[in-house]
C-alpha cells in the first residue's frame, strides 16, 4: 500500500486540532510535520511543543521532518514529544551516521532527507541504517511549490540502490505531490507521498483520500 502523509504545514493553524482530526477521519495514513529553523531553510514553522500537543490529539504516526541545522541537539526532545519517525537532512548533519544511530537509540524510526540538488549517491552508505529515505521534490521551506520533474529519476535510482543493497527503507517523496502526479511518483518506487496543499486546500479530505486510494490501487 502507498501511504499518504498530509503535511500540516498547509493546515489551518488556528484550528489545527479540527484539521488533524478531519485528516485522520478521512483515512490519512500518517501525519507529516515540517520543522523549520529559519537557518537551514528561509522559514520558521513548528517546534517540539506543537509536536507534543499534536501527539495528544491523534493516533496517526507522526512523521517529523527536521529542516534545521544541528539536528542532533533536538533528537531527544522530539522523542519525548512523541515523534514516531524523525528525519534529518544529510545537508544539515555533519556526522550523519552518528545522528541516525542517535535517533534509533531514542526509539524512533530514523529517516534521511536529500534536497533536489543533492545526488542520490549521498544515500548509498547510510541506506542500510535508515528506516526511511526522503527525497525532496521541491526546495524545502514552503508548501505549494511545483514538483521538480527530475525527482522521478531519483526515486527510481534510490529504488535500484535499495534492491542492490538488499534493504527496504521506506521511500518518501515530499513537495508538489498532488492527485495528478501521485501515480507516476508511486510507480517510480515511492512508498509514502507527503501532501500539504493538495490535501489541506482540498474541499473534502475524504474524497481526496478516496480518489488517491483508487488511483494508487490501495485497498
Cβ proximity to ligand DX5: between 24 and 174 the closer is: 174
Neighbours of 140 (CB within 10 A): 22
The three-state secondary structure class of 131 is coil
User: Among this protein's residues, is 34 annotated catalytic?
Assistant: yes
Question: Active site residue: 19, 34, 37, 63, which one?
Answer: 34
DSSP state of 148: P
- Cα 205 to Cα 26: distance, rounded to the nearest angstrom: 6
- Cα 92 to Cα 96: distance, rounded to the nearest angstrom: 9
Q: Is 65 in the site for Zn ion (CB under 5 A)?
A: yes
- Cα 212 to Cα 216: distance, rounded to the nearest angstrom: 6
- State in angstroms the smallest separation of the CB of 34 from Zn ion: 4
167 to 186, contacts with Zn ion by CB under 5 A? 174
Cβ proximity to Zn ion: between 10 and 202 the closer is: 10
- Cα 169 to Cα 44: distance, rounded to the nearest angstrom: 29
The three-state secondary structure class of 135 is strand
Q: Is 37 in the site for Zn ion (CB under 5 A)?
A: no
Using CB under 6 A, which of 133, 198, 209, 216 touches ligand DX5?
A: 198
Q: Which three cell numbers stand for residue 217?
A: 490501487
Neighbours of 45 (CB within 10 A): 19
Site string for ligand DX5, 5-44 (x = CB under 6 A): --x-xx---------------------x-x----------
Using CB under 6 A, which of 37, 71, 92, 143 touches ligand DX5?
A: 143
Contacts with Zn ion, residue ranges (CB under 5 A):
34, 65, 174
Contacts with ligand DX5, residue ranges (CB under 6 A):
7, 9-10, 32, 34, 65, 138, 140-141, 143-145, 174-177, 194-198
Catalytic sites, residue numbers: 34, 174
Amino acid at each position: 500500500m502507498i501511504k499518504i502523509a498530509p503535511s500540516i504545514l498547509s493546515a489551518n493553524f488556528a484550528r489545527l486540532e479540527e484539521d488533524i482530526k478531519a485528516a485522520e477521519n478521512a483515512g490519512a495514513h500518517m501525519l507529516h510535520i515540517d520543522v523549520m529553523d529559519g537557518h537551514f531553510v528561509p522559514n520558521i514553522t513548528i517546534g517540539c511543543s506543537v509536536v507534543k500537543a499534536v501527539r495528544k490529539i491523534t493516533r496517526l504516526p507522526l512523521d517529523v521532518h527536521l529542516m534545521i541545522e544541528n539536528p542532533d541537539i533536538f533528537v531527544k526532545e522530539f522523542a519525548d514529544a512523541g515523534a514516531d519517525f524523525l528525519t534529518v537532512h544529510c545537508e544539515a548533519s555533519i556526522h550523519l551516521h552518528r545522528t541516525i544511530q542517535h535517533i534509533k537509540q531514542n526509539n524512533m524510526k530514523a529517516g534521511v532527507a536529500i534536497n533536489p540538488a543533492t545526488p542520490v549517491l549521498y544515500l548509498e552508505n547510510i541506506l542500510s541504517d535508515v528506516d526511511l529515505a526522503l527525497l525532496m521534490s521541491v526546495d524545502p521551506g514552503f508548501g505549494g511549490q511545483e514538483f521538480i520533474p527530475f525527482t522521478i529519476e531519483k526515486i527510481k535510482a534510490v529504488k535500484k540502490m535499495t534492491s542492490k543493497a538488499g534493504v527496504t527503507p521506506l521511500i518518501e517523496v515530499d513537495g508538489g505531490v498532488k492527485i495528478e502526479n501521485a501515480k507516476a511518483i508511486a510507480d517510480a518506487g515511492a512508498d509514502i507521498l507527503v501532501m500539504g496543499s493538495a490535501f489541506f486546500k482540498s474541499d473534502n479530505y475524504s474524497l481526496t483520500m478516496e480518489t488517491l486510494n483508487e488511483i494508487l490501487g490501495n485497498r
